Amino acid sequence: QQQVKQSPQSLIVQKGGISIINCAYENTAFDYFPWYQQFPGKGPALLIAIRPDVSEKKEGRFTISFNKSAKQFSLHIMDSQPGDSATYFCAASIGETSGSRLTFGEGTQLTVNP
């Protein structure tokens, strides 16, 4: 019940295309859903996050869509660029304050071809 399932495992997109990564969760107590971006040899960095009281959040080219009834959320990267090539992790936690334990998805390796 603590798992977060992420798909696809890998994704190849052409420059300018839309990248879509999906996640599903079981634990209805989760109420904070961040996405992290990780480059090779680096630690994960927070990209964008959403709480379940909204269905969508947009920051620049990155948008999170959230479907509370389906217990699913997704990351959309518009106008994908080669610099977006990285591994993306969705995560979930109960609460978003310090001390909240993050449960991560398995990761999606995104490659954006020039």
Partner 1 sequence: NAGVMQNPRHLVRRRGQEARLRCSPMKGHSHVYWYRQLPEEGLKFMVYLQKENIIDESGMPKERFSAEFPKEGPSILRIQQVVRGDSAAYFCASSPIDGGGNTIYFGEGSWLTVV
Contact positions vs partner 1 (CB under 8 A): 4, 6, 32, 34, 36, 41-46, 49, 89, 93, 96-107
Considering the complex, state which of residue 41 and residue 114 has its C-beta at the smaller distance from partner 1.
41
CA 31 vs. chain centroid, Å, equals: 14
How many angstroms from the chain centroid is the CA of residue 54?
16
Radius of gyration from C-alpha coordinates of the chain: 13
Minimum CB distance to partner 1, residue 72 (Å): 17
**Which is nearer to partner 1, 91 or 112 (by Cβ)?**
91
Q: Of 79, 88, 3, 72, which is closest to residue 39 (Cα–Cα)?
A: 88
Shortest Cβ 16–partner 1 spacing (Å): 28
